[in-house]
């Protein structure tokens, strides 16, 4: 298994649960929308193998180099600079995936609709988004003032339905810990505050698995 980096380390379980739920196979075609550093793209590339294809899409041209670097060993990853609102791919895909994206976009439903249009009929749309304020340090709620919709995870099943997709499954998972370890390191990298020995529950990630009917 390739080392996928810190974010994927702490949020590895929700990603693995979602990918296991789909039964995505070798040769599959997918898109990782808002790919950022490419952690999810690499995980998808490992599942679909060299005969598959992963489009890593991000609106920030700087993400292109980051995602390309992360996926250097995976020739099946194609990095594209494009806004999620304009998502257009060279082919229909089996799966459109986004993680920590809808919290930043102007209109999450517009993006989900666009993801729905990118998949083949019967294909999957999967979104993983946080409920930031449900995270805790020493019992106090977390916040993320820089995000447009920090708690979008709490609305996710309804937003997916509003985008015209059929919700097949939905659940939430949150990494937690106390003292030194990946959870404390991750929080410190996000906030530049070391939680020390305080107990931490990171923002639960709501996963919605949906189908284009
Ligand atoms: C917090 S990062 C998440 C990266 C990755 N999905 C992950 O889970 O590690 C959010 C990413 O979404 C991208 N992004 C924000 N708004 C976007 C939009 N409208 N279209 C495409 N990408 C966008 C940002 O450039 C950033 O790389």
CA 80 to centroid of ligand 1, rounded, Å: 12
Burial of 121 (0-12, 13-18, 19+ CB in 10 A): exposed
Domain count, the chain: 1
CA 130 to centroid of ligand 1, rounded, Å: 13
Question: Cβ(99) to ligand 1 under 6 A?
Answer: yes
Residue 138 lies in a domain: no
Q: DSSP assignment, residue 34?
A: T
Tell which one of 5, 37, 41, 59 to mutate to probe ligand 1, the residue whose CB is within 8 A of the most ligand atoms.
Answer: 59
Residue 63 lies in a domain: yes
CA 46 to centroid of ligand 1, rounded, Å: 21
Residue 199 lies in a domain: no
Residue 140 lies in a domain: no
Residue 1 lies in a domain: no
Specify the pLDDT at position 7: 53
Residue 139 lies in a domain: no
Mean pLDDT is lowest, of 66-80, 92-106, 111-125, for 66-80
Question: Mean pLDDT, to the nearest integer, of 174-188?
Answer: 92
CA 104 to centroid of ligand 1, rounded, Å: 7
pTM confidence score: 0.94
Asked whether 196 and 6 are in contact (CB, 8 A), the reply is no
Q: State the residue range of the domain holding 166.
A: 6-129+147-174+204-211
Asked whether 15 and 128 are in contact (CB, 8 A), the reply is yes
68: domain CATH number is 3.40.50.150
């Amino acid at each position: 298994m390739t080392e996928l980096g810190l974010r994927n380390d702490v949020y590895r379980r929700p990603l693995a649960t979602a990918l296991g739920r789909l039964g995505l196979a070798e040769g599959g075609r997918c898109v990782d929308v808002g790919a950022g550093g490419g952690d999810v793209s690499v995980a998808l590339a490992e599942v679909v193998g060299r005969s598959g294809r992963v489009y890593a899409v991000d609106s920030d041209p700087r993400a292109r180099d980051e995602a390309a670097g992360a996926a250097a060993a995976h020739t099946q990853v194609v990095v594209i600079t494009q806004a999620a609102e304009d998502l257009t791919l060279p082919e229909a895909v089996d799966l459109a995936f986004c993680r920590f994206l809808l919290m930043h976009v102007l209109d999450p439903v517009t993006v989900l609709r666009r993801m729905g249009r990118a998949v083949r009929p019967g294909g999957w749309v999967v979104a993983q988004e946080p409920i930031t304020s449900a995270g805790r340090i020493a019992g106090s709620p977390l916040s993320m003032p820089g995000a447009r919709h920090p708690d979008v995870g709490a609305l996710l099943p309804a937003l997916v339905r509003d985008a015209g997709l059929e919700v097949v499954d939905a659940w939430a998972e949150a990494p937690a810990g106390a003292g030194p370890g990946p959870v404390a390191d991750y929080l410190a990298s996000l906030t530049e505050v070391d939680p020390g020995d305080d107990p931490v529950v990171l923002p639960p990630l709501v996963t919605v698995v949906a189908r284009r009917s």
